[in-house]
């Protein structure tokens, strides 16, 4: 039996990632995030030089999945003093 190539697996994973952003269901997005993380771990891909960068990337992907699943950007996450608010769109733009 022929093995599926790594490039095809990664392409499929990122296609599913894009579909999950469009589909906007939290359970589906969380499952795809876990599958993508499992694929990267199983294939022993090294995306970053230091482990902390990978953990930050995983947290950022999870945050993006969840904010998309819970009705998209623009929700207020935290109300700050002096009339300031932290929204998920502001947080994602600050991190990118």
Asked if residue 47 belongs to a domain, the reply is yes
Under 8 Å between Cβ of 87 and 76: yes
Binning pLDDT at 50, 70 and 90, where does residue 34 land?
confident
**pLDDT the model gives residue 72:** 55
Output the CA angle 25-29-32, nearest 5 degrees: 145
Residue 93 inside a domain? The answer is no
What is the band of 1 on the pLDDT scale with cuts at 50, 70, 90?
very low
Residues spanned by the domain of 62: 6-71
Reference 71, options 88, 50, 84; nearest CA is 88
Look at residue 88 and tell me if it is in a domain: no
Q: What number of CA atoms fall less than 13 Å from residue 87's CA on the CB side? A: 10
What is the pTM assigned to this prediction? 0.34
Distance in angstroms (rounded) separating the CA atoms of residues 26 and 66: 6
- Is 82 a domain residue? no
Please state the domain count of the chain. Answer: 1
Decide if 65 contacts 30 (C-beta within 8 A): yes
**How many angstroms separate the CA atoms of 74 and 12, rounded?**
29
Measured CA to CA in angstroms, residue 75 lies from 8, 27, 62, 86 at distances of: 35, 19, 16, 9
Question: Does 86 reside within a domain?
Answer: no
- The pLDDT tens digits for 47-95 are 666 666 667 767 766 666 666 555 555 566 666 677 666 665 655 555 5
């Amino acid at each position: 039996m022929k093995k599926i190539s790594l490039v095809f697996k990664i392409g499929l994973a990122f296609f599913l990632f894009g579909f999950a952003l469009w589909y906007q269901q939290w359970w589906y997005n969380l499952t795809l995030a876990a599958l993508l993380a499992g694929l990267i771990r199983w294939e022993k891909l090294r995306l970053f030089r230091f482990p902390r960068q990978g953990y930050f990337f995983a947290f950022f992907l999870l945050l993006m999945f969840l904010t998309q699943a819970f009705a998209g950007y623009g929700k207020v996450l935290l109300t700050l003093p002096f009339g300031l608010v932290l929204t998920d769109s502001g947080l994602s733009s600050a991190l990118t």
